[in-house]
A and B are shown apart, each in its own frame.
Chain A
């Protein structure tokens, strides 16, 4: 059974349909990427999975259990960590408070180890743990958003444009960390506009266009597909 199955979901914003019968699956241990241009529905897909924008029809299953009508705050507890679009860190709280809030739903009292893990992945956050998050640089804020999502000890991590607005050298760092997170056992579903980068780290990918999945396959196959090259890789 796949870890995550998105089964024919439709999502509306008011009367505007953002997703049309989107299907995708993510297996345990994978890095799967969603690529597509602006407004294709990538963010909406992640928001539907994490419960922020519930689908009007179709089903989302986590290990076979339907979560498509479950509220966002409950879905986190089921093992879906979401680092949302635009980072959305708590600007007027410290780095440490942000991370602690990431562990808000944890009842096991074992958050210390996860905090150490986040600090190992992002040493910058450890240096700045007492600083207000709003005063961090863009890259550090992105690290914090990922770190906060990791604090809930997710089985699957949803990342929305982690490279957006970052300096090229930081983009490489972030992607390296995403691979490290995956190697330590967390499944990753990644949205990227930077399709080249996304297809370099992902095993499989889906291409979204105006709310529909138009292509799917291994990252390698997509990299070599002439359509994808033309539309998204600029080759």
Chain B
């Protein structure tokens, strides 16, 4: 049993603040109930990582993976919790990235500090989440997916075509690098091209986000999201305002994406419109959460890491591996055949085959939520379902 099965308002005090405090501590307790030791060890290892591994390119990879995890956690709120299929998630990522690039660069000679915009871009993205959500949330399922897909295509295109403001195809170059200002005797620190400070920023953001999401999931709002995912009519007839609840899912999910966008443009110093296409972001993040296990935070993180590793390491290295394999075993019938370039050309085919393979082996995701597990087993093996009684 977890805290989510407790009453929404166990306290006798009906004030809003007390309710929020109540759900917050309930969520934290649920998290604390399992052993906290592995999580603390993992966190310490992650904090120590740049000291253990002096190779800066490894830290660069780690921070990049962290950004994808952040994106996946945000989309999981929309798709995994509230059940709204959003195919335009890249739009909010682009909005976050361009917000920073336009407000902290030579583009308009405006230089708003990174730390402020990191928070502000989350609000800007959330605002756009509401702007997109308000007219479209009456749509359901496939229809909502199509509209969000359109939105996801429109936003990067608007950025590309408004060259006056956004630099068009070339994007915005020379985005400000973050720095910690000189205060209270602290000497000040410029991030420059060192990935280590970025790594710590994304790590801190992730830790805060995960704690926030765990508590949201167990809150009154979290339960309302899941009720809507299960049955919208029934949710309305239990008194849930489905419109505001769905808008909140959209806004919160978008704010994670906006956050990640600002971080991304500050890390690269450059934003270009192609970085936010459907195949580069929206679909990849969706694959991460479906493959990892929708609605399960650990699953989403694992899924993000696996897809990230597949995309930016395995598929990149594959042609090289095949070439060296070929030259080391030297089969006569393969002479003159360039396996590496075949692999290069069929990169997405291989990616697709791996995805199909994983989904066939684990259709419920790698680490599914209890709900997904039951959903997939229902109807096929009724006996197994009865055994799940305790695990829910």
Contact = CB atoms under 8 A, between A and B. Distances in A.
A103 B392 contact: no
A92 interface: yes
B1 interface: yes
B337 interface: no
A111 B227 contact: no
Interface in B72-103: none
A106 B84 CA distance: 26
A204 interface: no
A108 B8 CA distance: 11
A130 B1 contact: yes
Contact of A88 (B234, B370, B386): B234
B332 interface: no
A72 to B, nearest CB: 4
B339 to A, nearest CB: 46
A74 B242 CA distance: 11
Contacts, number: 125
B232 to A, nearest CB: 10
Interface string A33-69: 0000000000000000011100000000000000000
B5 A96 contact: yes
Given A90-B227, A107-B14, A109-B10, A134 B237 contact: no
A97 B4 contact: yes
B387 to A, nearest CB: 10
Interface stretch (A12-20, A21-29, A76-84): A76-84
Nearest to A88: B234
A91 interface: yes
A120 interface: no
A101 B223 contact: yes
Majority-rule SS of B interface residues: helix
A92 B7 contact: no
A73 B7 contact: no
A135 B374 contact: yes
A183 interface: no
B33 interface: no
A103 B8 contact: yes
A110 to B, nearest CB: 8
Contacts of A170: none
Given A92-B375, A93-B230, A132-B392, A100 B237 contact: no
A97 B371 contact: no
Interface size classification for chain B: 35 or more
Nearest to B16: A107
Contacts of A131: 389, 392
B238 interface: yes
Interface in B1-57: 1, 4-14
A81 to B, nearest CB: 8
B223 A132 contact: no
Interface in A104-162: 104-109, 111-112, 115, 128-132, 134-135, 148-149, 152
A104 B220 contact: yes
B234 A104 contact: no
B216 interface: no
Q: How large is the interface on A (under 10, 10 to 19, 20 to 34, 35 or more residues)?
A: 35 or more
A73 B226 contact: no
Nearest to A85: B233
Nearest to A108: B14
Contacts of A163: none
Nearest to B379: A134
Contacts of B227: 90, 93, 101, 104
A92 B226 CA distance: 9
Nearest to A158: B237
Contact of B226 (A52, A89, A90): A90
B7 A112 contact: yes
Contact of B9 (A72, A74, A111, A132): A111
Contact of A72 (B14, B236, B370, B372): B236
A72 B240 CA distance: 9
Contacts of A90: 226-227, 230-231, 234-235
B187 interface: no
Contacts of B378: 134-135
B241 interface: yes
A67 B7 CA distance: 29
Contacts of A129: 5
9 contacts: A84-B233, A97-B4, A103-B9, A104-B224, A104-B238, A104-B239, A111-B9, A128-B389, A130-B392
Given A77-B239, A132-B388, A152-B238, 16 more contacts: A82-B237, A84-B234, A91-B230, A91-B375, A92-B374, A93-B371, A94-B392, A102-B238, A109-B11, A109-B14, A111-B7, A111-B9, A130-B392, A132-B370, A132-B374, A132-B392
